[in-house]
Structure 1
Amino acid sequence: MKHLNKVLFSVFRKYIRKNSLSSIFLTILGITICFFAGIDDGEAIDLYIQKLQSLSEHKIHVNQITSVRNFYLHNNDRHPPKEHRHLTRHEFNKKKSELKQKWEAQYNMVWPKLTITKKGTTKSFAFEAHHIIPINAGGVNHWWNITPLSPRGHKLLHSSMEEKACFSHNLLEQKYLRFVLKIEGLYKKNFKNYLPKLRFVPGQFSF
């Protein structure tokens, strides 16, 4: 019970007064709302793909999006054991070039490169290969599950609430972020033209 109270209080501790019956009630109420009023799996993967697309330098084909979406919605093993993750990562490191070649064949283009010019010297680096569905969340090593991302885009995606709302292993965090995305979506749909610009920042909370 003490552990449960600690988890519940950590969510809203910056906004409510601790060690009171009212704060416990409000926290439990807030958690309950988050669990039942957030976006579902389909909406979560769609928002994640939209975020990915906004950080990518190339347009992801509909066929690839469909494959990713179907896999996510029908995958019952989103928390694979540590040994399985290590094996999948090891396999990826061995097959990375092959997977890129298959991706190139599907898109009829060369895997993108990042060109940097510094002090008169120009260097080119291959874009990083991002697992759209992460290995930690049951992602597989198929061409449709990788996409090129710049180092900056890759970092921003991994720190985004859209990715965490899809793939976080912390159920409380995942449900909370899905609720935030739900509220943000309602705001954009109904009040964007009438209220000041608003962006929810879930990082205020600690899970």
Structure 2
Amino acid sequence: MILPIVAYGDPVLRKKATAISEDYPKLDALIENMFDTMYGARGIGLAAPQIGLPIRLFIVDATPFEDDEDLSEEERKLCSEFKKVFINAKIIEEEGDEWVFNEGCLSIPNINEDVFRKPQITIEYQDENFDKKTETFDGMVARIIQHEYDHIEGILFTDKLSVLKKRLLKSKLTKISKGNIDVAYRMKFPLAKKKR
């Protein structure tokens, strides 16, 4: 089932999400709905706060990058096989020289900006079966994970932009909050005027 994606300005996107346990109600259905929602919006990652749930859960499917000519063959291959569920994740290390990539976000449609991130991360998390993992990822996969991880920490990619860039985007972000945009997927806008 495709769920509405929460737009910029909703307080849930600014909350540090809470951990969940194995008895979280209907978790399998929630994960399936999140994948449906992400694919419906043509995304590569989705965090639970983006559908209004302040819990430490996000999903990633990097397969759209398997055809990206800007990536190395090795990185394209990794992306082609990368689809994961991350529960109660904690990044324990970020390493390397920061690199820039133009990022976007399903909660902030029609805005893409260059964001600097470290190229390698080590992350502890539980998978959909609550098996504990500690893994190291790099390149594009690491970037996607960092972006989604930021969501469960209450951070948006726009927070990583310069003061000037943020000022230039302010009116666009306000329009998004009010729902004054064209978007090809279902969204919930925090400042949209209620229809009478």
Structure with a larger share of its residues in helix? 1
Greater Rg, structure 1 or structure 2?
1
TM-score by length of 1: 0.24
Structure with a larger share of its residues in strand? 2
